[in-house]
A and B are shown apart, each in its own frame.
Chain A
Amino acid sequence: MIELQNVTKYFRTPQGKHYILKNSTFSIPSDVNIGILGRNGAGKSTLMKMLGKIEFPNEGKIISDKSFSWVMGVGGGFQNNMTGRANVKFVCRIYGKSKAEIDRSIEFVKEFSELGDYFEMPIKTYSSGMKSRLTFGLSLAFDFDYLLIDETLSVGDARFRKKSKEALMKKIESCNVLLVSHDMGTLRDICDVGIVSHNAKLHYFDDIKDAIEMYQDINKKG
């Protein structure tokens, strides 16, 4: 269960406060895979970051007893001057893995991400697709209750996308996923329920198909 209690979140802009959420109270049931939809700037990524506890509500609270991964966003979450290997090591260490576990995770991520020599290169030399491969591969080395995936499945080449999707399908047998995506096919395949973020409000749907329908309606209205 993830509970949002009177959550308000805004960003200050020169034109005043831009609201992402206005006094939202909301609960998301456990053991479902959740798709999050919304137009650009509707606050999907901010919502994910708040769940990942690296962005904070201006008012209200988010309560959950579940563990969340870091937000796997396009290109985010790495220190640019460290190599892929050093980043993987770093993340394993902050999650308290032992030395043997770290070695195993490094091998796994190296193989899964298919970065080859780039694994030993600083992140600043990576393309955004390569970063996504690394962050997704790395997340598979941990056991979270929820994976927070912000569009990363839709980058990379077709073959790797397929491989990621398969890996994710297998992973979600033992955990759940919160997925931001603009790819309706992926959302339909992976998610059970849906949330549409629109005009600083969250709309919950028991069936992802209804969420997709609302999202498409919003888009038609323009």
Chain B
Amino acid sequence: MSQRTPWEVQKSVIYALFLREVNVRFSAGKLGYFWVIFEPLMQILVFVMVKVLLFGNNSNFDYHVFITLGFIGFNIFRHVVDRSLGAFSANKGLYAYKQVKPIDALIARLLVEVLVTIVIAIIFILVGLYFDFDMNPKNLGMVIFAYLWLIIFAFSVGLLVAVISLFFESFKKVVKILLSPLMFVSAVFYSMQDLPQAVGSLLYYNPLAHFMEMIHGYYFFVLDDGFVDYQYMAIWTVIPIYLGLLLYRKLEKGIISI
């Protein structure tokens, strides 16, 4: 057999796992396509309604767009972390092939989530253009950069929790339980500037809130990134990925041969 470089091998493995994941997620009978679109749509509609009913339609920015940006960002984080938890065990049968490493499964799942998010984003952009929402971002480049950073952050956290849950099975459950209420403390559907000081300084410790503020701050002319601490976000990106990779390297052989 012709020799391929390790990188070529890994690329073909990730690609094969990616296609497998897409196939499983969107196979007939599972309504995969439907849920992917329906979930964020419901979130957005519910929160827009709650906001309009309780507080009236008095924002000085387009609240529909604000909340859509927030949920796209929050969902990618939640889904990447959630899917990472099961990635190692879901592909166990395939470790019979020496090319397939557990981390490839993690990367493949990340790529599926990125693909899904891109599709959703395109659909929402088309909807936004059609209904004439505020589709004029202050700094599109920085908005995209914020999302890309968020994806890396999500992968970083996903890797760490996936590795930790190898030690403690119940850790998985804890993470899954925490992921939903996280939505309420992550500045997804409100801006930090509207919160009382005390609450704001508490939410400051949630890195996800910084990402949301960064996205919103660069999209809307009337908002800014005053709340955002870039150094804090960087620490939250680098430390989990460092610890995650460190533990993963020690455990890889064990994950393969269980």
Given A79-B93, A144-B1: A94 and B99 within 8 A (CB)?
A: yes
Chain B 18-29: CB-based contact to A (< 8 A → 1; otherwise 0): 011001100000
Name the A residues within 8 Å of B100 (CB-CB). 94
- B250: Cβ under 8 A from any A Cβ: no
Q: Is the CB of A86 within 8 A of B253?
A: no
Q: Is the CB of A142 within 8 A of B1?
A: yes
Q: Is the CB of B1 within 8 A of A53?
A: no
- A143: Cβ under 8 A from any B Cβ: yes
Given A86-B20, A86-B23: A77 and B97 within 8 A (CB)?
A: yes
Q: How far is the CB of A123 from chain B (nearest CB, A)?
A: 8
Name the A residues within 8 Å of B12 (CB-CB). 93-96
- B190: Cβ under 8 A from any A Cβ: no
Name the B residues within 8 Å of A96 (CB-CB). 4, 8-9, 12
Q: Is the CB of B96 within 8 A of A54?
A: yes
Q: Is the CB of A54 within 8 A of B23?
A: no
Q: How far is the CA of A38 from the CA of B4 in the complex (A)?
A: 35
Q: How far is the CA of A82 from the CA of B16 in the complex (A)?
A: 13
Q: Is the CB of B253 within 8 A of A93?
A: no
Q: How far is the CA of A142 from the CA of B1 in the complex (A)?
A: 8
- B94: Cβ under 8 A from any A Cβ: yes
Q: How far is the CA of A93 from the CA of B104 in the complex (A)?
A: 14
Q: How large is the interface on A (under 10, 10 to 19, 20 to 34, 35 or more residues)?
A: 20 to 34
Residue in B96, B253, B257 whose beta carbon sits within 8 Å of that of A77 in the complex: B96
Most B CB contacts (10 A, CB to CB) among A49, A55, A93 go to A93
- B236: Cβ under 8 A from any A Cβ: no
Q: Is the CB of A91 within 8 A of B97?
A: yes
Name the B residues within 8 Å of A142 (CB-CB). 1
Residue in B1, B9, B91 whose beta carbon sits within 8 Å of that of A79 in the complex: B91
Q: How far is the CB of B34 from chain A (nearest CB, A)?
A: 21
CB-nearest residue of chain A to B18: A93
Q: Is the CB of B20 within 8 A of A67?
A: no
Residue in B1, B15, B93, B97 whose beta carbon sits within 8 Å of that of A143 in the complex: B1
Main SS at interface, chain A: loop
- A71: Cβ under 8 A from any B Cβ: yes
Q: How far is the CB of A81 from chain B (nearest CB, A)?
A: 7
Q: Is the CB of B15 within 8 A of A93?
A: yes
- A205: Cβ under 8 A from any B Cβ: no
Q: Is the CB of A70 within 8 A of B96?
A: yes
Docked complex: B206-258 residues within 8 A CB-CB of A? 253, 256-257
Q: How far is the CA of A201 from the CA of B24 in the complex (A)?
A: 45
Q: Is the CB of B98 within 8 A of A70?
A: yes
Q: How far is the CA of A118 from the CA of B16 in the complex (A)?
A: 22
Most B CB contacts (10 A, CB to CB) among A76, A94, A96 go to A94
- B95: Cβ under 8 A from any A Cβ: yes
Q: How far is the CA of A5 from the CA of B188 in the complex (A)?
A: 57
- B185: Cβ under 8 A from any A Cβ: no
Name the A residues within 8 Å of B96 (CB-CB). 54, 70-71, 76-78
Docked complex: B65-116 residues within 8 A CB-CB of A? 91, 93-100
CB-nearest residue of chain B to A143: B1
Q: How far is the CB of A77 from chain B (nearest CB, A)?
A: 4
Name the A residues within 8 Å of B23 (CB-CB). 86
Q: How far is the CA of A140 from the CA of B47 in the complex (A)?
A: 57
Q: How far is the CB of B93 from chain A (nearest CB, A)?
A: 4
Residue in A67, A78, A86, A91 whose beta carbon sits within 8 Å of that of B1 in the complex: A67
Q: Is the CB of B93 within 8 A of A93?
A: no
Name 27 A/B residue pairs within 8 A (Cβ), A-sorted.
A54-B256, A54-B257, A55-B257, A56-B257, A70-B97, A71-B96, A76-B96, A77-B96, A78-B96, A79-B93, A79-B94, A80-B93, A82-B20, A86-B20, A90-B20, A90-B94, A93-B12, A93-B19, A94-B13, A94-B16, A94-B100, A95-B1, A95-B12, A123-B93, A142-B1, A143-B1, A144-B1
Interface of A toward B, CB cutoff 8 Å:
49, 52-56, 67, 70-71, 76-82, 86, 89-91, 93-96, 123, 142-144
